[in-house]
Amino acid sequence: MDNNNWSDSLKRRMEAHTEAPPAGLWGDIERRMELAAAARVRRRRVLSWSIGSGVAAAVALLLVFVSVMMFPLMSSVLDSP
């Protein structure tokens, strides 16, 4: 019961408490948000460049594989009478 009275008293005193935010708080928050957004854009560019390079390499490898596999078939067709 004593513990409950103590917490109720503290709650009543803290309900009316207000504190002004420090000067420049919102400016700092906006600056950090802009920096975070710029970092996301950079990561997105690097990721899209990596994926694009991977796709280009896969297409090139597929073309080389198909060429190597088709060359003997085309040679036999062209050499046959």
The closest of 45, 23, 27, 24 to 35, measured between CA atoms, is 27
Band (pLDDT 50/70/90 cuts) for residue 18 is: confident
Range 2-23 average pLDDT: 83
Band (pLDDT 50/70/90 cuts) for residue 77 is: low
Q: Which residue, chain included where needed, has tokens 């990721």?
A: 47
pLDDT tens-digit readout, 23-72: 899 999 999 999 999 888 888 888 888 899 999 999 999 999 988 888 77
pLDDT tens-digit readout, 42-52: 888 888 888 99
Residue 49 amino acid letter: W
Q: Which two tokens stand for residue 36?
A: 């975070």
Q: What is the pLDDT of residue 68?
A: 85
